[in-house]
Amino acid sequence: MTIIQPRTAPGTLELLPRQQMVFQHMLDTIRRGFERFGFVPVETPVFELKDVLLTKSGGETEKQVYFVQSTGSLQQGHEADLALRFDLTVPLARYVAEHERELVFPFRRYQIQRVYRGERAQRGRFREFYQCDIDVIGKDKLDPAYDAELPAIIVRIFEELNVGEFTIHFSNRKILLGLLASFGIDDAEKQKLVLRDIDKLDKIGRPKVREALVDLGLKDIIADRLLSLITHTGSKEELLAALRAEKAEHPVFLQGLMELSQIVVSLKALGVAENRTRLNLAIARGLDYYTGTVYETFIDAHPEFGSVCSGGRYDDLAGLYTKSKLPGVGLSIGLTRLYDQLNMHNLLPQVPHNVQILITQLDPQLSSVYLSLGTELRHAGYNVENYLEPAKLDKQLKYADRAGIPLAIIIGENEQSKGNVLIKDLMAKSQLELPRTELINRLKNIIHHKD
């Protein structure tokens, strides 16, 4: 028979079990953080009806959509009527609109699932990747206080993820838009172009951004004022003071200033360390979708990773699906890409093996002893594997060592007759013989329970 070469589709990340444990630990940490702040879980189907999912015809994302079609539909010559979700925001909008009457608002949901984009295949680009999203949706209105809560959650999660120092940069699009309007630049298209140029600051540098702004028709003095604000490196309070000193009176600017000030106060009340967040007006985010606060998160030592958690405030989540006005604010962690980048830089957190103890099988006559010891240790809260294959002890210990299991328990005829067990620490290469009756008590000092 011909052998089919086993391989995964390009653009997917598949992990070996030991790596999967690290990934799972990160997913669990994120979920626990979301739940700790009182968010509730949602999962949606991987595919949506095409006419529901693809509403903004011609957009960039639409070109990357994966269509789904059953064999039956294909044989009947139909067109595909399903498509894989490309983010978790459109499914959220559809979900909230569909279940509007059954939900309570403010609706605080988290969603951790994979999404799909037909990206060009290249290192670090994924066609299938996890997004970990958190959003608060209001009915008709949503207090700016929620804009401070979300970064507080992300701070807690990234601290627990233990992936190095990081900073959440935030801004409010109303500040720059209001400033521009107060400078007399109130054409929406032109404002958009200005914001797009400002967004490039990191990539092209201050002089080139200045040049671009002047090319757009901004006066030198105004371009300089904008640039001095967006490159401001002082504290949040200093930057807020600088903004107040602008004395701009455009209502959009004043609204943005009020929202920003409230975030700064709330972050303090939430106990978020000062250096974890930075008010940075250069964070403009290209997406028109955002209408107020915007966020980007950077690993301090690795700005080249780009933003690892982004989001913002939007005026209306689900206008395509409902007449209700549903403003919201959300943040999203792109976990697959983050994992991949951390992995490439050997920055992944150390995570203990799921399995804590391997009970070896030294003497097949004692197999009942091994099995009932396994049951006893599991009841005591440990994750335990019984090696059930007849094999030399050396091979079994090597198996545990290769798999990454830290402890092995050995009971031979000799130990059994004395009522003892032998614990082998495979990392420390040490061993310890003790009475079986003391085993569970002694294990408490050697390893921690799994839950």
Among 37, 255, 315, 347, binds a second copy (CB under 8 A): 37
Which residue, 325, 298, 297, 312, is CA-closest to 195? Answer: 312
What string marks each residue from 275 to 314 as x (binds a second copy by CB under 8 A) or -? ----------------------------------------
- Verify binding: residue 271, a second copy, rule CB under 8 A: yes
Residues in region 385-404 near a second copy by CB under 8 A: 385-386, 388-390, 399, 402-403
- Cβ proximity to a second copy: between 42 and 283 the closer is 42
Is residue 6 close enough to count as binding a second copy by CB under 8 A?
Answer: yes
Contacts of 348 (CB under 8 A, 6+ apart): 22, 163, 339, 342
Of 239, 299, 317, 318, which lies in the binding site for a second copy, with binding defined by CB under 8 A? 318
Token duo for residue 359:
């009970």
**Nearest residue to 263 via CA among 295, 224, 309:** 295
- Structure tokens of 383? 């994750």
CB-based contacts of 152, cutoff 8 Å, min separation 6: 37, 267, 270, 271, 272
Kindly determine how many residues on this chain lie close enough to bind a second copy according to the rule CB under 8 A. Answer: 114
Please tell me whether residue 249 binds a second copy under the rule CB under 8 A.
no
Burial grade of 8 (CB within 10 A; 0-12, 13-18, 19 or more):
exposed
Site string for a second copy, 69-88 (x = CB under 8 A): xxxxxx-----x-x-x----
Contact status, residue 155 vs residue 226, Cβ threshold 8 Å: no
Q: Are 238 and 232 in contact (CB under 8 A)?
A: yes
403/434 with CB nearer a second copy: 403
Binding test (CB under 8 A) with a second copy, winner from 30, 168, 263, 358: 358
| Per-position x/- string for 101-120, each x denoting binding to a second copy as judged by CB under 8 A, each - no binding | -xxx-x-xx----x-x-x--
Which is closer to a second copy, CB of 214 or CB of 399? 399
Query: Is-contact 376 440, C-beta < 8 A?
Result: yes
Q: Is 45 helix (H, G, I), strand (E, B) or coil?
A: coil
Under rule CB under 8 A, residue 138 binds a second copy: yes
Intra-chain end-to-end CA distance of the chain, in Å:
47
Q: Which of residues 325-354 bind a second copy (CB under 8 A)?
A: 354
Select 9 or 245, whichever has its Cβ closest to a second copy: 9
Say if residues 393 and 360 touch (Cβ distance below 8 Å): yes
When binding is defined by CB under 8 A, the residue of 222, 242, 270, 440 that contacts a second copy is 270
* Cα–Cα distance measured from residue 357 to residue 407, given in angstroms and rounded to the nearest whole number: 5
List the one residue from 355, 409, 410, 421 that touches a second copy (CB under 8 A).
355
Q: Is 135 in the site for a second copy (CB under 8 A)?
A: no
CB of 19 to a second copy, least distance (A): 10
Amino acid at 233: T
- For a second copy, the closer of residues 105 and 434 by Cβ is 105
CB 219 within 8 A of CB 138: no
Among 30, 88, 94, 178, binds a second copy (CB under 8 A): 94
Residue of the chain from 146, 253, 298, 305 that contacts a second copy (CB under 8 A): 146
* Integer Cα distance of 393 and 414 in angstroms: 15
